[in-house]
Amino acid sequence: MPDSFDLYLTAAWQTLQMVSVSALVSAIFGLALALLLVTTGPGDLYARPWLNRVVGSVVNVFRSVPFIILLVVLLPFTRLVVGSTIGVWAAVVPLSVAGIPFFARIAEVSLREVDRGLIEAVQAMGGRKRDVLWHVLLPEALPGIVSGLTITLVAMIGSSAMAGAVGAGGLGDVAIRYGYQRFDTQVMVSVLIGLVVLVSVVQTAGDVLARRLNHRQ
């Protein structure tokens, strides 16, 4: 059983690494996917119903696979991308692959809330579709997207516990290995406190940022 504070620090650092990198990847690709989902539906900006259905299905497939299975199924891909199937970077791949469709669905909801009148305004001023994306959809949905990213981050911190299974470590993994599997309540509680602090910081930061960005009222 770990007697040193080091264990926690290392674990916290691993979690931060895993989650921040995965969140960044998920944010970028998830947002792109969300834009695809929102703009390619029938009657939408880019109206490619066929593409829309394909993208929607792919997202559904990835969201269907339980994370632990995804972790395994992705091993060859993980090896291809980061050169190894164990360690923090190996955890980033499945976390991102799970995070992308998750965040895509969440961001999709916020993007759909954007007032059509604003889209028309930008179209009327000679904006092209990319201008609509860039000047209307993204900035207007931004507060919601930030809140959605917060939700994604917190969910990812949870999933990262399972990523411990590929030897990435992290707070969640420590909680499971030391606390849960060795019945060491003390370690578990300490780690959980760490997790609670981390989640609270993320949530609060997300809330504050979303409020700052919201100029609607």
Q: Measured between alpha carbons, how far is 110 from 132 in angstroms, rounded to an integer?
A: 15
Q: Measured between alpha carbons, how far is 131 from 64 in angstroms, rounded to an integer?
A: 34
Within the chain, residue ranges assigned H as helices are 5-39, 49-64, 67-73, 75-82, 88-112, 116-124, 129-131, 138-163, 171-174, 185-213
Report the nearest approach of other proteins to the CB of residue 118 (Å).
Answer: 6
Q: Calculate Rg over the CA atoms of the chain.
A: 20
Report the nearest approach of a copy of itself to the CB of residue 86 (Å).
Answer: 16
Positions in the binding site for a copy of itself (CB under 8 A): 56-57, 60-61, 63-69, 72, 102, 105-106, 108-110, 112-113, 115-116, 143-144, 147-148, 150-151, 154-155, 157-158, 161-162, 172, 175-176, 179-180, 188, 192, 195-196, 198-200, 203, 210, 214, 216-217
Positions in the binding site for other proteins (CB under 8 A): 1-4, 68, 71-72, 75, 79, 84-87, 90, 115, 117-118, 120-129, 131, 135-136, 139-140, 142, 162, 164-167, 169, 173, 176-177, 180-185, 213, 215-217
